[in-house]
Amino acid sequence: MVELTAAAVFGVYAIASALVLQLVNTEVRTPYMDEQFHIRQAQWYCMGAFNKWDPKLTTPPGLYIVSLAVRTMGACTLDRLRAVNCVLGCILFWTVYALIRQNTRPFRAAIKALTLCMLPTSFFFAHVYYTDIASLLCVLLAQLLSVHKRHVWAGVVGGAGVWMRQTNVVWVALVGGAAVERWMRENGVVSGGLVQSVGQLVQWMKSPRRWREAVWVAVPYAFVVMAFGVFVRVNGGIVLGDKSNHQAGVHVPQMFYFYAFTAAMAAPTVLAEAQRYTHAVTSRQVTCFEMANYALETVYANLYLYLTLGLCSAPQWG
């Protein structure tokens, strides 16, 4: 009975998504922006012309391979190819729900999943033929599998995500790092805040026998990252096709776009957490040691954002 509430919320998302897809197909009868390249490539694959490649495309053929399922219904038309992302969007809903459901009641988890899946930057791409939804689904599904300790499958799905969008290799590395960190905490290797954990980690690494199991946890993710490194070496760069217009470089403003968007969308949660934290500080429930941990973790988070966002070229669409 409880799960029926989640199914009802999903029904709202599915109906809304189907109506939007119908509206898009009615009003936008020709490929929208970069859809012209993706649609043409997918149609070549549907015809079995796997040796043909549009030089304007810069992402791997993962989405086009998934879209081969459309051939069972006939020709790979614009409407049907767009429907692929609509279906993937529905799977994305349940993936997000499963991630949130671990620590949240079913109805609240379903509402949160609905909110996240209808985020404009995500919901829009569920109704056009771009790689964004398939890419996001692979990353979150890899995280879900990783949380449930299915690390081999998480690596496989993460690798599939790299076939959707090359930059997903960063998220595969992050999922792998988080998996190792969870293993360490579950096995008592580290505990407490960042400062305390560093000291414990140094002591733990002095005994190779103790960290072999952690290495095995990391292997599926490390394999994907190393395979990607080989690809970059052989390909002569990250992108496929038109490399001249997709050069990697410092793009600091992208970090601020991210901050502004995240701040706007997460404002209610951030304000609530800020109020709780302020109360804890004023009532002396937070020690100086814990505050130092928070500060270091903030620095780490900003450094990570700089490495993953600031060292990327302009946002990839498609």
Distance CA 101, CA 104 (A): 5
CB 238 within 8 A of CB 289: no
CB 13 within 8 A of CB 90: yes
pTM attached to this predicted model: 0.78
Distance CA 17, CA 11 (A): 10
Distance CA 53, CA 212 (A): 43
Residue 71 phi/psi, 5-degree rounding, is -60, -25
Please report the beta strands in the chain, taking only residues with DSSP state E, as ranges in sequence order.
Answer: none
Non-local (6+) Cβ contacts of 247 within 8 A are 313
Exposure of 244 in the CB half-sphere (CA atoms within 13 A): 2
Per-residue pLDDT of the chain (318 residues; tens, 9 = 90+): 457 888 899 999 999 999 999 999 999 889 888 888 899 999 999 988 888 888 888 888 999 999 998 888 878 889 999 999 999 999 999 999 999 988 888 888 898 899 889 888 889 999 999 999 999 999 999 999 999 999 999 999 999 999 999 889 999 999 998 898 888 777 776 665 555 555 566 666 666 666 677 788 889 999 999 999 999 888 887 877 666 666 666 777 777 787 777 777 777 666 666 666 666 555 555 455 455 555 555 554 555 444 444 444 334 444
